[in-house]
């Protein structure tokens, strides 16, 4: 029987692209709020979309690589 760490590597050999894709989908979803008429929704959508993109690129790719 293999240790759990090897099994998880076999199950998902390239998880970084999966996380980047999920972050992109979330950022686009929240960025859609910027097209509403309510200013608070626009600001919140923009802020969350930018935070997700920063998290996906700077933090996960550069500071804490998986």
HSE-CB at 34 with a 13 A cutoff on CA atoms is 12
Does the residue 7 lie in any domain? no
Does the residue 18 lie in any domain? yes
Q: pTM for the full model?
A: 0.68
Does the residue 1 lie in any domain? no
Q: Is the dihedral of CA 20, 54, 32, 48 positive or negative?
A: positive
Q: Which domain holds residue 18?
A: 13-63
Domain count along the chain: 1
Does the residue 4 lie in any domain? no
Does the residue 2 lie in any domain? no
What is the per-residue pLDDT across 22-58, written as a single tens digit (0 to 9) for each? 888 999 999 999 999 999 999 999 999 999 988 888 8
Is the pLDDT at 64 greater than 90, yes or no?
A: no
């Amino acid at each position: 029987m293999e240790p759990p760490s090897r099994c998880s590597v076999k199950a998902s050999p390239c998880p970084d692209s999966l996380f980047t894709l999920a972050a992109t989908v979330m950022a686009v979803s929240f960025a859609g709020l910027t097209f509403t008429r309510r200013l608070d929704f626009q600001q919140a959508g923009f802020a969350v979309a930018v935070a997700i993109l920063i998290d996906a690129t700077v933090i996960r790719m550069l500071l804490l690589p998986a």
